Amino acid sequence: MSKGHNQGDIRRSAGSGDPSGAPAKKTACGACGAPHGSFYDRKIRRIRDLSCGERRIYLEVEVRRVQCHGCGKVKQEKFPWLAANPFYTKRFAWYVGRRCRETAVKEVAKELKLNWKTVKSLEKEYMQAQLRRTGMPGPKAIGIDEISLKKGHTYRIVVSDLVRRRPIWFGGVDRSEQSMALFYQWLEAKKTADIKLVVMDMWRAFESSTMKHAPQAAILYDKFHVMRHLSKALDTVRKQEYKRLAERDRSFIKGQKYTLLSSKKNLTLEGRTALKKLFSANKRLNTAYLLKESFGQ
């Protein structure tokens, strides 16, 4: 054991694949697991382990590659104590994951002198291990939305657990009912039956698939899309009134489309004055506007 190049680092040399330092005579193919008594080549890798107080601990481990007679591949031997990122031990990755549950990724990266992307990947591995151990709990409330992958109409569906505030599924080939059904198939019937609330836009395919696979769940349309439909209805009333009125009465409506469709709190003094005159002259538009605004409150 010796101090590393950086002040405060400690380096420990170990035998192949064993952090205890015991020499290893046999190895195994990293692809198929077949045991071997010889190796193809070897090199020393520097692997970070749990710190000792304020000192960072690094292991220098001999890592060997095997030319497998079984699968014919040249693969590096696997060590069960290594994280998916082979420059860190699994117990160090678990420590990083636990710290990320207590504080922000940026703070953990600063504390451990790591790149934040490395911290994020180690945290992800830790969380995946926890899910494998405990299983993913079935969501009680989900949100459904679609994202556009590129210009045009190439969509994928994203489903989020609204209670835990994280995405749980991304897939489909479009935003059709068949693609939406893939989520419910993935979730399986038992967990789907536990869903109490589904929040979505007013896309019929999402609604139809949900009613078919989770009929017990209440469907809630998200406010943004409902407000968009209300604004469209208000503009329809504006057009109807413009056509219905005589030429001399149209002056109150002409040029007021965006004033009508804007939220009252976002209007300038000039816009509020124009609205007041318009509503005094046209009761139908006044009623339609009040209905839209009352929903938005």
153 and 185 part of one domain = yes
12 and 62 part of one domain = yes
128 and 190 part of one domain = no
CATH number of the domain within which 202 lies: 3.30.420.10
Helix (H) or strand (E) holding 92: helix 90-100
56 and 71 part of one domain = yes
The predicted-structure confidence for 221-280, as pLDDT tens digits, reads as follows: 877 777 777 888 887 887 887 777 767 667 667 777 777 777 777 777 777 777 777 777
174 and 185 part of one domain = yes
- Terminal Cα distance for the chain, rounded: 67
What's residue 63's pLDDT? 86
Q: Residue 30 has which token pair?
A: 């990293």
Q: How many other CB atoms sit within 10 Å of the CB of residue 184?
A: 19
Total residue length of the chain: 297
Q: Name the maximum alpha-carbon separation found in the chain.
A: 99
264 and 281 part of one domain = yes
Report residue 102's pLDDT band, with 50, 70 and 90 as the boundaries: confident
76 and 95 part of one domain = no
Strand, helix or coil for residue 144: strand
Distance of alpha carbon 183 from alpha carbon 171, whole angstroms: 8
Q: Among 55-64, 102-111, 194-203, 286-295, name the one with the lowest average pLDDT.
A: 286-295
Give the domain-ending residue among 49, 65, 82. 82
12 and 78 part of one domain = yes
Distance of alpha carbon 32 from alpha carbon 142, whole angstroms: 40
Domain that holds residue 68: 1-82
Number of domains within the chain: 4
29 and 71 part of one domain = yes
1 and 71 part of one domain = yes
Please report where in the chains the tokens 């600063």 appear, as a residue: 110
On whether the CB atoms of residues 96 and 73 are closer than 8 A, the answer is no
What's residue 276's pLDDT? 77
Q: What average pLDDT does this structure show over 90-114?
A: 91
Give the domain-ending residue among 189, 221, 253. 221
Report residue 9's pLDDT band, with 50, 70 and 90 as the boundaries: low
On whether the CB atoms of residues 19 and 83 are closer than 8 A, the answer is no
Q: Which of 151, 140, 105, 145 is CA-nearest to residue 124? A: 105
74 and 116 part of one domain = no
Judge whether residue 166 has pLDDT over 90: no
Judge whether residue 1 has pLDDT over 70: no
Judge whether residue 18 has pLDDT over 70: no
Q: Report the mean per-residue pLDDT for the chain.
A: 81
Cα 181 to the center of its chain, rounded Å:
20
Residue 160 sits at φ, ψ, to 5 deg, of: -120, 150
Q: Which of 57, 56, 28, 54 is CA-nearest to residue 40? A: 28
Instruction: Name the β-bridge partners of 10.
Output: 3, 57
> What is the DSSP-derived secondary structure letter of residue 14?
E
What's residue 297's pLDDT? 59
Strand, helix or coil for residue 185: helix
Q: How many other CB atoms sit within 10 Å of the CB of residue 210?
A: 23
Those residues whose C-beta lies under 8 Å from the C-beta of residue 268, and which sit 6 or more positions away, are: none
Could you tell me which residue, 297 or 178, shows the higher pLDDT? 178
